[in-house]
Every structure is written in structure tokens, then in C-alpha cells.
Structure 1
Amino acid sequence: MSSDAAAVPLSVLDLATVGTGHTAAQALRTSVRLAQTADTLGYTRYWVAEHHSMPGVASSSPAVILAHLAAHTGRIRLGSGGVMLPNHAPLVIAEQFGTLEALAPGRVDLGLGRAPGTDGATAAALRRTTTLPEGADEFPSQLAELTHFLDDDFPPGHRYARIHAVPGPVQGKAPGGVQSADRPAIWLLGSSGFSARLAGELGLPFAFAHHFSAANTLPALDLYRSSFRPSAALSAPYAMIGVSALATEDAAEADRQVRTQALSMLRLRTGRPGLVPSPEEAAAYDFSPLESEFTDSWLANVVHGTPDEVVTDLRALTARTGAQELMLTAPAHSGDARVRSYELLAKAWGLPVH
């Protein structure tokens, strides 16, 4: 499927990564700086991921980070990429994102995923249970409950019919109340066909995690489009894909930076999560043949190089997938390198400066 790549919006996915020699506080300050840069340079959205028990990722509380970013930006849409719905009570999410909508009216996206975003033990601690009964079959009912809370429209007789997520629509219904702004826009996120099909059937926008599930991208997008049914939220399919992309003035430096994330991913997948290593540490690491195979496979899905090289590859990816929006995550040890990459790509892509 082709697409007019030049007209495709770019957005930002932030994991608030913490590199060796840096702190979580510094990583979160970089997030503010990056959000302000993206706001000015014409990026469409700024989403924060939810991960837990990972020393190198400071984005365990997306709603808290987004509230802070709302106070430091003025135009860009802010959202979760995503909130892992099984980890939280739907009412809590509705209250958090209703509050965000009140703080930044018309600028809030609620991206939802069904994976825990962590290991089983941590997921159990988040849910205050020793078992994890919530599987794929539970996600649609959790999503329906959350949507009812956001819309304040449980049917009469429902056990939650008298419960209201505040801030939310109930304020616009109460006598003398203040009319609430539109509720957050719901997106479904996924790396397989389950959420793709569900997003299509519900008529919701869909974001696919191409950056760590590239082999499933085309099948999932085809399933989303073939399953799509128009809804009040969306009249036609809208697909966004997440892409790891890093641009530097010098291609060799881009390669040096992305290898830090490759080593970080290797350690995570082998049960050794930690801070994102420095380029020097990554260059000095003695990879086994099996480890090299893993990192080479991971790097094959990372778009990196000079701005022109990255833009060429991103346009080819857009044309191949028909994605209507690209959400870029910049894999680098340095916060400065990540911010600079978004600056370079905004100019090379031709984003409108605000």
C-alpha cells in the first residue's frame, strides 16, 4: 500500500531512558526539553511509554510525566504509548486521564496496551495479586469498562452506574456544572493481530510497535484495515507505526549511538536490565556469536544515519506500510543525541515550525 510519505506526520515516543553516568532526574529533564523541542518543531504527538522495574527506563508513571509536560508545552498532543490496561483499575485510568484532559484540553491521547510492560513478578506486584488472571480475553471487557467511565454512560442498573470519573463528562451534566472538554482520544496499541483486530472492530485508531515487531507489521495493519468498522470516533482506518530512528550529522556517530541500545536490549532480554551503556562500553563489549546474532537482528530494524539517509528509509517504510503517521523513538545513550536527532529530522522531513 502506498502513501504520500512527504505529508505523513511525525510524532515522538519517549521512554525517558537513563544512560550510565546519568540519573532518572536528568532523564526526565531531558523529556521536558525534548517535548518543548517537538512542540516547536511541528511534531504531532508526544507519547510516554509505561515500563516497570527497569533501571534504564524512567517512564513508570506516564500520567505523572504527562501532567508535567502539559505545563511546559502549548500545542503538541500528549499521550501514553501506552498505559498497560491490565495493570490498573479502569476507574483510576479514567480519573488520571480526565485530569490530564482538564489540564490540557483537546491535547490528550490515551494509548492502551494489553501487555504488562514488565515481568510477571512485577506485574503481580502492580496488581496486588499472586496470580495474573487477566489474559487477552479480559482486555475487551476492561476496555469497555474504561470507555464507560470516560463517557459516564453506564446503563441503568449497572453496578457502576452511580460512579463518576471526575474530572469528566458528569461535570457537564450536573446543574450549574462546568461543561467538560472532549474526553481523551483512545488508541489501541499492539505488536500482534489481537489489538489490530479489536481496534478495527471498535473503529479506533491503531498504533503498531514496528520498532520491536517488524515481521508482524504488514499482517497486523492488513488485519486492522480489513476489520475496520466506522465509529463515532473514526470514519476510516488510521494507522500509526512506532519506529526506532536516530539521525546524526555523521553516520558513524549514529551507528555508535544505536549500538548502545542494542547492548541494552540484549541485557534486558537475558535478564540483566540496567542503565543504557555508553558508546565506549558498547564498543568494548565482547559479544558471543549468539549475542551478535541477536543485536544484528535488532539493529536491522533501527533506521539510523545522516538526516537524508534516515528520511529516505522512513519514506520507503511509509510507502511500504501505508502508515498515516510515524512515531519515532530515538535509541541513544545521550539525551543530547536524542534531542538533536529530532531537530535534524524535523528539518529534513519538512515539518512546519511553530
Structure 2
Amino acid sequence: MHFDQPHGAAPFTLSVLSAGGTGVGMTAAEGLAATMSLAQTADRRGYHRFWMSEHHAMGATSVSSPALMAARLIAETTRIRLGAGGVMVPNHAPLLIAEQFGMLDTLAPGRIDLGLGRAPGTDAATVAALRRGADANDGFPQQVLELLGFLGDDFPAGHPYRRVHAVPGPWQAKENRVPAASTAPEVWVLGSSPYSAQLAAQLGRPYAFALQFGDADIDTALRLYRENFQPSAVLAEPHTLVSVPVAISDNPAEAKRQAATSAMAMLRMFKGEGYLLLPPDEVEAYPATVQERQVLDAYTGRTFHGTASTVAGRLEALHERTGVDEVMLVVGGHSASLDEYGITLLADHYALPRLEAPLPAAAQ
């Protein structure tokens, strides 16, 4: 597996993650259109990857299926890698995931990423509606192994799925007497705990750490990943990515207001009121209790907010401490236009290369 060198003046490769943010006052169609526009801007402005996360029954998100959205974005972009950050494996049959991402890689060879997570991406009632059992997380390692077996069509002799094949995939090429595809989805293990770090290390896969989730211990996770890494056929050395929530604006106060909208959504979720992105004015007017104010301040502070220079300084300090190879900007405040403008400002700060080739006709 080959990873590009960092772009421009940044000491790390830069990418973008979106959940299809749909703020209060915005329709689902508008939220998805904003996601497409964000992906196009990331593509034009030299970002390396554009990932989408899987969520269910959440009013502030419109991407319930990263695979479906990636299929659309293939036609809307030209060079950026597209994928899931991630697919919640226990919500799906591994064979179906392998088929979907095999199709995506067939449509856009060498541009598809498949990040694997085990969280449900929703609340308890929706978990039940997804037909996901209480012990779903326990089977995550086995499900990942099955998925890799289907993607590579390399189950050992005697395995019950030896004669089950993901199509498109290597088996179909062999059956049809044509050369096998030269690329495959790039598989990542996602997480925010030592558990996911150790699994990624054992499998010899790149590891993406989600720093947007609470007080996650990135230092311990990355140390365990690097110490326990076992080289594989696809990756010779450890490779790491960290996703970080950001809100970037020329106006630091406006960036903080944007960060506060996602903090309020987290507070609402903790209270069982639903994950909604309220307008900044409504968030500011909310009569928070002392305990609620602590939550709001904590999550606002976890977001790297401010001018491009301020955010870049925090990103570089994080890189200096952790040595991560890639940084993924998690956007998702109430204002989709500010999210898009923010990644443009950071691209300018780091002088990321602009895409000179025209966008595909579908995106014009």
C-alpha cells in the first residue's frame, strides 16, 4: 500500500470528514447538496481524502450510507480519495460491504477507502431497529476478518465461505478470464480506544483515531498500535491518521459560535433530545445549567476553532506530540457554507496545490 507524501507546507497529509451536516432550517436535499459541494472544494483545493461517516436516525446528518454517497461523489470529483470513515461493520453483513466497496473501486479504481468501525452510530432504540444484537461488538474482529476474506477472495481451504465470492472482485475476473483489478479498497481500522489500535496492529492495517469523541486517549492508542504492529501484504510499516473537529473562519468569534452549535448537539444527545444543529443565536440564548455549561464549554474547546493560523498551530502541536501521518478535518457545524470556507482558508494557509483540471460535467 502506497501513501502520498504530505502536501505543501503542512507536516502531514490533510483530508476532510463529513457526516452530511444538515442544520436546523436546512432540508435533507440541501444537506446532501452541501456535502457534494464540500467534497468538490476539497478535491479542487488539494485535500487527499474525503470521508463520510455512517449515522442513523439523527436529524443533523443526512448520510446514512457512505457507500451510496461515495458513488455519487465519484461523478462529482476527479482525484480525491473517497470513502467511509466509517462503515459500522456490526450493522451490516460483511459480504454486502465487500460487494458495495468492490463496486465503488471498480467505478473509481485507486480512489476508494473503507474505514471500519464497530460503534452503532445511533441510539439504543435505533440499534434494535437495525437488528443489531446486544453482543454485536463482540463479533467485530471476526466480522472484519470475514470482510477481508471476501475482498481478497482468499478464504483458506475448508472455510465455510470458501465458495462464496464478492462480486465485483478477484473471483469474477478469474471466472471471466480477464486480468484482475490492479486496485482494491484501502481498508482502515477506525476507533478511539486501545482495542481498535491493537486490532489494526494485528491486521497490519492503517489506523485512524477519532479524536472528536470525548476524552479519548490518543497517546496510548497510537503507542499500542506502533508497538504491536505486524507488517502485512498491504502495509509494511505503521500508518496513522487522526480526525479532529474544526471550525475555521476569518472571524475567531464566528468560528467559536460555529463550534458551539456542534457542542449543543452533543449536549442534546446526552439528554436524549436528539442530535440537532441549532442556529448559533439559539445556542447562545440557551439557559444552560452549571452542569450543561460545563459540557458545552468542554465540547466547544475540543473543537479546533479560530482563524486558519490558529487552527494550524493546534494541528501542528498535535502532530508534534503524536507523530501522526495524516490529519482529517471533521466539519459539521450549523453553517455548511462556513465549513466549506474554513477548509479553503486552511488550504490557503498551507498552500495546498490547486486542481487545474476541470471538474467532470456532472459537477459543472
| Aligned mates of 2:332, 2:32 — CA distance in 1 | 16
| Aligned mates of 1:6, 1:72 — CA distance in 2 | 26
Residue 14 of structure 1: which of 18, 26, 40 is its match?
18
SS in 2 for 1:282: helix
Letter of the structure 2 residue corresponding to residue 196 of structure 1 = A
Could you say which residue in structure 1 is the equivalent of 2:320? Answer: 319
Deviation of 1:178 after TM superposition, in Å, equals 5.1
8 Å Cα contact 2:203/2:232 also seen in 1: yes
- Structure 1 residues 178, 231: CA separation in 2 closer, same or farther (over 3 Å shift)? closer
8 Å Cα contact 2:18/2:332 also seen in 1: no
Could you say which residue in structure 1 is the equivalent of 2:135? Answer: 133
Bigger mean CA offset, 34-43 vs 208-217: 208-217
Could you say which residue in structure 2 is the equivalent of 1:183? Answer: 184
| Aligned mates of 2:274, 2:350 — CA distance in 1 | 34
Q: Deviations over 1:292-331 (max 9, x none)?
A: 1111111221111111111111111111111110000124
Bigger mean CA offset, 177-186 vs 146-155: 177-186
TM-score between both structures, scaled by the size of structure 1: 0.95
Letter of the structure 2 residue corresponding to residue 63 of structure 1 = A
8 Å Cα contact 2:266/2:275 also seen in 1: no
Could you say which residue in structure 1 is the equivalent of 2:166? Answer: 165
Identity %: 49
| Aligned mates of 1:214, 1:44 — CA distance in 2 | 27
Letter of the structure 2 residue corresponding to residue 79 of structure 1 = G
8 Å Cα contact 1:14/1:329 also seen in 2: yes
For these two proteins, the number of residue pairs brought into alignment is 348
TM-score between both structures, scaled by the size of structure 2: 0.92
| Aligned mates of 1:303, 1:265 — CA distance in 2 | 16
Could you say which residue in structure 2 is the equivalent of 1:192? Answer: 193
Bigger mean CA offset, 10-19 vs 213-222: 213-222
Letter of the structure 2 residue corresponding to residue 43 of structure 1 = Y
Deviation of 1:14 after TM superposition, in Å, equals 0.5
Could you say which residue in structure 2 is the equivalent of 1:43? Answer: 47
Letter of the structure 2 residue corresponding to residue 193 of structure 1 = P
Letter of the structure 2 residue corresponding to residue 33 of structure 1 = S
Moved over 6 A (4+): none
Q: Deviations over 1:254-308 (max 9, x none)?
A: 1111111111110011111143100111111111100011111112211111111
Could you say which residue in structure 2 is the equivalent of 1:244? Answer: 245
Matches within 5 A, 1:285-300: 285-300=286-301
Residue 87 of structure 1: which of 91, 112, 116 is its match?
91
| Aligned mates of 2:196, 2:99 — CA distance in 1 | 23
| Aligned mates of 1:224, 1:142 — CA distance in 2 | 20
Letter of the structure 2 residue corresponding to residue 122 of structure 1 = T
Q: Deviations over 1:17-44 (max 9, x none)?
A: 1111101110100111111110111101
* 2:152 paired with 1:151: yes
SS in 1 for 2:85: strand
Long gaps (5+) in structure 1: none
Letter of the structure 2 residue corresponding to residue 39 of structure 1 = D
8 Å Cα contact 1:171/1:178 also seen in 2: no
Letter of the structure 1 residue corresponding to residue 83 of structure 2 = G
Letter of the structure 2 residue corresponding to residue 298 of structure 1 = Y
Deviation of 1:113 after TM superposition, in Å, equals 0.4
Letter of the structure 2 residue corresponding to residue 135 of structure 1 = N
Bigger mean CA offset, 209-218 vs 290-299: 209-218
Long gaps (5+) in structure 2: 1-5, 356-364
Could you say which residue in structure 2 is the equivalent of 1:116? Answer: 120
Deviation of 1:167 after TM superposition, in Å, equals 0.8
> How much is the aligned-residue C-alpha RMSD, in angstroms?
1.4
| Aligned mates of 1:47, 1:300 — CA distance in 2 | 24
Deviation of 1:10 after TM superposition, in Å, equals 0.6
